[in-house]
Amino acid sequence: MEHRDIYITEYDLNRLTELLDVGLTFRGSKSESDHLDGLKEELDRANIVLPKDIPHDAVTMNSRVRLSDMGKAEKLVYTLVFPRDADAATGRISVLAPVGTAILGCRVGDIIEWQVPAGKRKLKIEEVLYQPEAAGDYHL
């Protein structure tokens, strides 16, 4: 997968680092460990900005985004949330889920690609429907 620039607010970085610290201390399955490692890698390479300086088309925590599945011509709408708030039935995906980690910090037009059991999956960020920072909701 090609690495693109990603953007994360200081506020999200602090909360995600806390999540990682707890998760890395109490690692569960190999899968959980891999998800934590994936998130850590993304945070390590991210451009960290103040909430007021985040690009309005970047996916931040609690953002609602429309994605297109490049392999199926299918549109998906997800809200990126912390694990405790995840609910697949309502489109609330955890930042620790592979797709959640993949979209964090991406911008409209970015294409994410990752390996799934059935092969590779490619999604394109079509639109950020709601971003807390753009709406002035800096502490969601």
Domain at 7-130, CATH from 3.40.1010.20, 3.10.50.30, 3.40.470.10, 2.40.10.120: 3.10.50.30
Q: Roughly what angle, to the nearest 10 degrees, separates helices 30-45 and 10-25?
A: 150
Residue 113: per-residue pLDDT: 87
pLDDT in tens, 14-31: 999 988 887 655 555 555
**pTM, full prediction:** 0.86
| Residue 140 clears pLDDT 80, i.e. is over it | no
Q: What share of the chain is helix, strand, coil (3-state, %, to 5)?
A: 35, 30, 35
**Spatial CA neighbour of 80 closest among 120, 44, 133:** 133
pLDDT band of 1, cuts 50, 70, 90: very low
Kindly state the helix (H) or strand (E) to which residue 117 belongs, with its residue range. none
What pLDDT digit, counting tens, does each position of 28-44 carry?
A: 555 556 678 888 888 89
Q: Quote the tokens at residue 39.
A: 């998130």
36, 81 contact by CB (below 8 A): no
